[in-house]
Amino acid sequence: MELITPEFGLIFWQVLVFGILFFLLAKFAWKPIIQSLHEREESIDQAIKLSEETKKEMAELKAGNEQLLVSARAERDALIKQAKESADAMIAQAKLDAQAAANQEIEKARTAFEQEKVAAVAAIRKEAASLSLDLAEKVLKSQLKDKAAQEKLVSEWIADVTLK
């Protein structure tokens, strides 16, 4: 019976000690502990979130970079292709121009040659005519020393003329 009869003294001290204990611990121990545990957890949570976000951003950045690289490469390829095309075109044009110029030159040369030829032929012809005239003159001069021969020739010429 003594065991289950609460003593006044112990009740008094228990109320006092527990009360003081609660007050002091709540103010100087539990409050900073709970607060700082909460803050630490939150800061860890935030750090994790931040790192995840950064990772995501990094991945996005990487993907962007890759895309940029791909587009740059494509642009470069296009540029090279364009340059090549224009170079080819230029070469072709140059070739064409050269051909045309050559042809023109050839034509010019040919025309000049033709003219030269014509002129040469004409000169030769003129020379031949004057030579033959001279020859003829000499021949005639020699042949027409006698009268009979002159007459005969004239008559021949006249015959010829009538024939025409």
Partner 1 sequence: MSGKSIFKKVYFSNIILGLFISLFSFSAWANEPAAAEATEHAPQQEEKFDAGKMILHHIADEHEWHFFTIGHFHATVPLPCIVYRESAGLQVFSSSNFKNEHHEEVSYQGLKLEHGKIHAENGEKVYDISITKNVASLLISAVLLLTIFIGIGKTYKENPHRAPKGIQSLFEPIIIFVRDEIAKNNIGEKHYRRFMPYLLTVFFFIWFNNMLGLIPGGANVTGNIAVTAILAIIAFFVTNLNGKATYWTHVFAMPGVPKWMLIIMTPVEIVGVFMKPFSLMVRLFANMTAGHIILLSLVSLIFIFENAALGIAVVPFSLFMNVIELIVAFIQAFIFTMLVSTYIGAAIEEHHH
**Segment contacting partner 1 (CB under 8 A): 14-22, 56-64, 71-79, 85-93?**
14-22
> How many angstroms separate the CA atoms of 87 and 96, rounded?
14
The pair of three-digit structure tokens given for residue 66, joined into one six-digit string: 């890759």
Q: Where are the alpha helices (DSSP H) in the chain?
A: 8-25, 31-143, 147-163
9 binds partner 1 (CB under 8 A): yes
Q: Which DSSP category does 146 fall into?
A: S
Which residue's CB is nearer to partner 1, number 22 or number 113?
Answer: 22
Q: Binding to partner 1 by residue 4, rule CB under 8 A?
A: yes
Residue 24 or residue 136: which is nearer to partner 1 going by CB? 24
The contact mask relative to partner 1 for 42-81 (x = CB under 8 A, - = no) is: -x--------------------------------------
d(CA 102, CA 1): 139
The count of other CB atoms within 10 Å of the CB of residue 150 is 13
Cβ–Cβ < 8 Å for 150, 144: yes
Span of 16-24, 75-83, 98-106, 109-117 interacting with partner 1 by CB under 8 A: 16-24
Task: Give me the residues that bind partner 1 (CB under 8 A), please.
Answer: 2-15, 17-18, 20-22, 24-26, 28-37, 39-40, 43
